[in-house]
Amino acid sequence: MDLRQLRYFVAVAEDLHFSRAAQRLHVAQSAVSHTIKLLERELGVTLLDRMPRGVALTAAGELFLSEARAVLARAEQAAQAVARIRSGRTGVLRIAVPVGAGGGTLAQALTRAVGRFLARAEHRDVQVQVRETSPGDLADAVREGRADVAVLACPVPADLAGAELDAEALVAVLPADDPLAAGTRVGVADLVGADLAVSPAVALALGPDLPADAGDPGDLARLRRAAASLSVCDPLVALSLVTAGQAVAVLRTTVVEALAAAPGPLADGLVVRRPLAGDTVLRTVLAHLPRPAPLVRAFVAPADEGGRLPAVAVRPSGTVTALPPPTWGW
């Protein structure tokens, strides 16, 4: 028994006529008649009483008509559900974010991206799951299918694609008596040889801005080794290291502004902040596979230029809740 047999039977049962049912189905009457005879033979019952001017349903036919309609309706629902997934109108979108991702423009940018996506009528059935992931595991989460999108710092790995999510200027935080604090700005090349307290994402952002004439090409490698030696995701820990004179921290502007607004070494003048020369920025992207699924492609599409869309708070717990524009941070 297959769906075609059920469709043919339902058409005849509704029209009570083989010829009219065949016209509705756009098939030959003989094909309809033959198909229903095979169905009756398979079931071992007579579904239709054939008469000179049409047909009538038997008791078995009445019962089978109700069941056949239910089966066809369920099959249509299943087909529509698959079509929505195929077109990116339903399903689960899994977003991996780095553990300890700070607040400010990054959280707001992801909030806007998710809000823009869920505000579209065609995505009302989509579930968004946000999971914190170790920074070193973000790209692998996408490669291995554990996440659909990952929030990564530039540069994007060669085997992945990405759409820019956010760009934020970086600031150096130094002990007040550090020689670098004497100037109004700090060059990236000046950080070579310093003990850096930075997150892995910031360490990547610093590398490309190292000037070509900064000295030995090995400076870049030494800069990254220094950054790796004090890899710090928590800005409060980085600030503590700076206060103790053990490191120079490089943080995002909004993080430094938040630290300066609260009681502590920045407010007390024990440490100072200096912008990085050259407007060095931390660029983050929504990284995904080069041939993304429709759901992912719809999410990373550029924002519409229309009106402001409602914000959606995306918390690392994985819940997505409609809220007013956020004032919190990660």
90-166+284-322: what fold? D-Maltodextrin-Binding Protein; domain 2 (3.40.190)
pLDDT for res 223: 53
The answer for residues whose C-beta is within 8 angstroms of residue 107's C-beta and 6 or more apart is 101, 314, 326, 328, 329, 330
Q: What is the rounded distance in angstroms from the CA atom of residue 170 to the CA atom of residue 150?
A: 21
pLDDT for res 7: 93
pLDDT for res 113: 85
Instruction: State the 10-residue block means of pLDDT for the chain, 330 residues long.
Output: 91 91 91 92 92 89 92 88 69 82 67 84 83 85 93 85 85 90 86 79 64 44 51 81 88 86 87 84 87 87 42 38 31
The answer for residues whose C-beta is within 8 angstroms of residue 83's C-beta and 6 or more apart is none
CB-based contact 95:132 (threshold 8 Å)? no
CA 235 from chain centre, in angstroms, equals: 25
167-281: what fold? D-Maltodextrin-Binding Protein; domain 2 (3.40.190)
Closest residue by Cα to residue 201 from 79, 114, 330, 323: 330
How many angstroms separate the Cα of 279 from the Cα of each of 23, 220, 276? 72, 18, 6
Q: Where are the domains of the chain?
A: 3-86, 90-166+284-322, 167-281
3-86: what fold? Arc Repressor Mutant, subunit A (1.10.10)
